[in-house]
Amino acid sequence: MNESEVRFCTAAELASALRRRRISALELARAYLDLLEELGPKYNAVAALMPERALDEARRADRALAKKDGGPLTGVPYGAKDLLAARGAPTTWGAPPYRDQIFGQDATVVAKLKRSGAVLAAKLAMVELAGGGGYRYPSASLQGPGRNPWNTERWSGGSSSGSGAAVGAGLVPFAIGSETSGSIGTPSAYCGVTGLRPTYGAVSRKGAMALSWTLDKLGPMARTADDCATVLEAIAGADTGDPTASGKRFRPLAARAAASAAKRARIAFAEEDVSEHASPEAKRALEKGVAELRRVAPKFVRATLPAMPFGPMVTTVYSAEGAEIFAELIEGKRFEQLVDARQKAGLRAALEIKARDYLHAMRLRTRLQQAFAAMFRDVDVILSVGRAMTATPITQPLDNPAPPGGPKPPPDKRNLSGPGSGNMGLIAAGNLAGIPAIFFPCGFATDGLPVGLQLVGPPFSEPLLVALASAFQRETDHHLKRPRD
């Protein structure tokens, strides 16, 4: 296999090729390093190439494969969002004040992937400090704005901008992203890749930059739901280094059980998520995607989230926690090095959030968890759009209406709680409740950009979420589409 043949392969396809000796892990690592070096800058996707480490891990993988000792990720290259520590490499958190930061140990996720034989090829770009404080422009990153593989004048999404772009452009078969509130989901939807946000505590956060101790999750982004499952199986589980790690392992459902579960699953859906909230460009493709999912999982019922102020809840929690985490930076001289002026103002203001407001938001999270638990007595998963619109232009402010003549404000900046809002608040609500989600592509909007859906389930329902998305991907080919360079 040559470079052009391996590009856009799934992790499962690469693992098969490695086992059958169609390519060695060393050759594969070199091919992906070349792709990342050549095309990574086009998408501002790469924070740091890892050639020495990648080749070393690839040689180790080849030795394991020669002894028929490998697992499903042995020799498979990947990229890690640059908020994950990798021993000896720069870990910049996407932010100029940390451009020279180097850790002496791998994050637990990176260490677990190393044990599973995966090959770390690159650290991937991200929005500075994962967007804490609230950024205005996609350019809020040490690497510049994440450019979308389907149209480089559009954003790849944030804050896992490099993870989304690199997987979408076929520069790595999978990547690790993180989500505090939307940072796996948005780039997955915008770049046309599959992303899995695990249950809070399912994956250790040790060695990952903290933005919000009670909201941060790490998860895989890949070309298929099955690849996400393979990666999650490798990274989930206990870790004494993270007191919030649940210790629960992840195992995907067996094929027959998965097929049966998909057919039986009760899917909560609110039509207005598409009919009222989707952008004109995205609406048709989202409608078609929902119809295709209905053929795979026919038991649709109407159910909607409780009316709660999800936006104020989630911003109060991550702003208060993030401001405390970065207080020393905010009050020091290096703070001015941050790129985005709105983000700096947001972080400064967050230092003044009152304890009573933070705690009130936290207590409302308990009420929200109770409401979800009640909802999940009647339904198994909740379906909504991944994002209601396609990727925005890289120059468009993310918090404001576009300039005259430009695109209208994003639908998800409107009020997302209460009558008529359907389940449009699902990203914030799902993150507040700590419950898992899978994001997967379902077609293309009239502007040629990908759109996707999300499924959200109760805590530790990842096996069902994967089963549903995998069943969808067996019946459709949206996830196999490739952007042109």
Partner 1 sequence: MTEEERSIDDPARLADEARENAQKAATELRAQRVPIETEPPTVFKTD
Instruction: Name the residues that contact partner 1, by CB under 8 A.
Output: 134, 136, 199-201, 214, 243-244, 246-248, 308-309, 311-313, 315-316, 319, 341-342, 344-346, 348-350, 352-354, 357, 359-367, 369, 397, 400, 403, 434, 459-460
Beta strands (DSSP E) in 243-380 are 267-268, 300-301
Q: Are 128 and 135 in contact (CB under 8 A)?
A: yes
Q: How far is the CB of 126 from partner 1 (least distance, A)?
A: 22
Exposure class string for 119-133: b at 16+ Cβ within 10 A, else e: bbbbbbbbbbbbbbb
Element (H, E) at 191: helix 185-191
Q: How far is the CB of 133 from partner 1 (least distance, A)?
A: 8
Q: How far is the CB of 272 from partner 1 (least distance, A)?
A: 22
Query: 2: which residues sit within 8 A by CB, 6+ positions away?
Result: 31
Q: Of the listed 116, 159, 178, 384, which one is catalytic?
A: 159
Query: 193: which residues sit within 8 A by CB, 6+ positions away?
Result: 164, 167, 168, 187, 221, 222, 223, 441, 479
Cα→Cα distances 103→83, 132, 463, Å: 11, 21, 34
Q: Can 159 be counted among the known catalytic residues?
A: yes
The first and second tokens of residue 50, run together, are 């890892």
Q: Are 387 and 185 in contact (CB under 8 A)?
A: yes
Nearer to partner 1, 319 or 454 (CB): 319
Q: Of the listed 156, 160, 161, 183, which one is catalytic?
A: 183
Question: Residue 49 in 3-state DSSP?
Answer: strand
Nearer to partner 1, 12 or 433 (CB): 433
| Rg for the chain, CA atoms, rounded | 21
∠ at Cα 45 (40, 46), nearest 5°?
75
The first and second tokens of residue 254, run together, are 């067996």
What are the φ and ψ backbone dihedral angles of 467, each rounded to 5 degrees? Answer: -60, -45
Of 462, 5, 19, which Cα lies nearest the Cα of 197? Answer: 462
C-alpha–C-alpha distance, residues 280 and 276, integer Å: 10
Q: How far is CA 379 from the centre of its chain?
A: 24
Q: How does DSSP assign 268-297, residue by residue?
A: E--THHHHTTS-HHHHHHHHHHHHHHHHHS
∠ at Cα 40 (114, 162), nearest 5°?
65
Exposure class string for 194-233: b at 16+ Cβ within 10 A, else e: bbbbbbbbbbbbbbbbbbbeebbbbbbbbbbbbbbbbbbb
Active site residues: 81, 159, 183
